């Protein structure tokens, strides 16, 4: 389905009359009962969309699981009332392979991924690493890859030399079939990240109080940006949902860190004192277990 010449949908499964389209709304057609997968592709032409539709899609060994791969992301859907463990064949073109958190085995056609899904649940997996062969034209079938996090993976099962890339960083490794090889990319973030505040919405927004810069710079994950609080500045970060907080940590650009207090809130209206940020040097921390959706940090004085 070509939406507007810049985006489109690829429909896999079902019969010819599976969907009904009304303006900008897409719904199951009357009487449609077969499960299907709809892929949304942005920034593609009609020709590119046609090529994507001809591309082989991931398939699960267990028929209760549906799978799709769009822009490298692997989506898995368990359409049953039971927990399911299954292998998912994920076709990939070319000599390199994208791998995901968990365990998978390289095949000639792509990877064979081991999935476990709770009843009536879905999972969206980001590609964590790209592997390319340095010895031979392609990675050997049978190479086992266990991705621990966004910075570390464990390789075994086949002898080869390969290049590993992620987050703009790369390294080379040699794998010997009889033992495991553990590789950690220096400087890479170990996603999934424990930081509930990373990339979340912050307040205040414009207009900002005099002397204050955007508090979003405090939670954007970029060490080259920072929040300037101004006199007695106060920022709030919305964690997106209620979360169990174990500590609040502030990293300042200078060792002369100001005094600061922390408040928790579940509704963004009523706040309770949680404590003060303590420590020495640039990193100050409050270790305090609590449940909160909104966390406020108030600086005392006018720090640089």
Question: Which one, of 136, 167, 135, lies nearest residue 153 by Cα?
Answer: 167
172 and 206 belong to one structural domain: no
Total domains, the chain = 3
Q: Is residue 169 assigned to a domain?
A: yes
Q: Is residue 194 assigned to a domain?
A: no
The pLDDT tens digits along the chain (304 residues) read 666 667 788 988 876 678 888 887 888 888 887 778 989 898 888 899 999 999 999 999 999 999 999 999 999 999 899 999 999 999 999 999 999 999 999 999 999 999 999 999 999 999 999 999 998 889 999 999 999 999 999 999 999 999 999 999 999 999 997 899 999 999 888 887 788 999 899 999 989 999 999 999 999 988 889 999 999 999 999 999 999 999 999 999 887 889 999 999 999 999 999 999 999 889 999 998 789 999 999 999 887 6
pLDDT of residue 218: 96
46 and 96 belong to one structural domain: no
- Domain end, chosen from 189, 214, 238, is at 189
138 and 115 belong to one structural domain: yes
Q: Is residue 304 assigned to a domain?
A: no
96 and 10 belong to one structural domain: no
48 and 97 belong to one structural domain: no
Q: Is residue 270 assigned to a domain?
A: yes
Q: Is residue 195 assigned to a domain?
A: no
240 and 291 belong to one structural domain: yes
pLDDT of residue 16: 67
pLDDT digits (tens, 9 = 90+) for 231-255: 999 999 999 999 999 999 999 988 7
Structure tokens of 26? 């897409």
88 and 119 belong to one structural domain: yes
Say what the pTM is: 0.71
185 and 209 belong to one structural domain: no
77 and 180 belong to one structural domain: yes
Q: Is residue 196 assigned to a domain?
A: no
81 and 102 belong to one structural domain: yes
Q: Is residue 178 assigned to a domain?
A: yes
pLDDT digits (tens, 9 = 90+) for 283-303: 999 998 789 999 999 999 887
Q: Is residue 142 assigned to a domain?
A: yes
116 and 157 belong to one structural domain: yes
Separation of alpha carbons 216 and 252, rounded Å: 15
* Domain enclosing residue 284, as ranges: 201-299
- Domain end, chosen from 159, 189, 219, is at 189
92 and 185 belong to one structural domain: yes
- The CATH number of the domain holding residue 239 is 2.60.120.260
């Amino acid at each position: 389905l070509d939406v507007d010449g810049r985006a489109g949908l690829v429909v896999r499964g079902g019969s010819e009359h599976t969907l009904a389209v009304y303006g900008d709304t897409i719904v199951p057609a009357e009487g449609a009962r077969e499960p299907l997968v709809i892929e949304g592709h942005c920034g593609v032409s009609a020709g590119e969309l046609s090529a994507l539709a001809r591309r082989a899609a991931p398939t699960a060994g267990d028929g209760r699981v549906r799978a799709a791969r769009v822009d490298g992301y692997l989506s898995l859907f368990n359409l049953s009332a039971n927990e399911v463990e299954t292998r998912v064949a994920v076709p990939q073109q070319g000599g390199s392979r994208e791998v995901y958190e968990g365990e998978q085995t390289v095949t000639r056609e792509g990877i064979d991924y081991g999935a476990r899904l709770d009843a009536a649940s879905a999972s969206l997996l980001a590609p964590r690493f790209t592997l390319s062969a340095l010895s031979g034209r392609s990675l050997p079938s049978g190479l086992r890859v266990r991705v621990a996090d966004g910075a570390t993976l464990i390789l075994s099962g086949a002898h080869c030399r390969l290049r590993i890339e992620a987050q703009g960083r790369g390294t080379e490794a040699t794998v010997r079939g009889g033992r495991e090889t553990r590789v950690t990319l220096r400087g890479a973030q170990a996603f999934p990240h424990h930081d509930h505040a990373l990339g979340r919405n912050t307040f205040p927004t414009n207009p900002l109080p005099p002397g204050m810069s955007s508090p979003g710079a405090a939670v954007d994950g970029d060490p080259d940006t920072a929040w300037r609080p101004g006199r007695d500045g106060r920022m709030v970060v919305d964690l997106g949902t209620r979360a169990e907080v174990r500590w609040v940590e502030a990293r300042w650009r200078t060792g002369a860190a100001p005094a600061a207090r922390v408040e928790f809130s579940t509704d963004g209206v009523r706040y309770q004192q949680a404590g003060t940020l303590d420590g020495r040097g640039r990193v100050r921390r409050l270790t305090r277990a609590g449940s909160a959706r909104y966390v406020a940090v108030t600086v005392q004085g006018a720090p640089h």
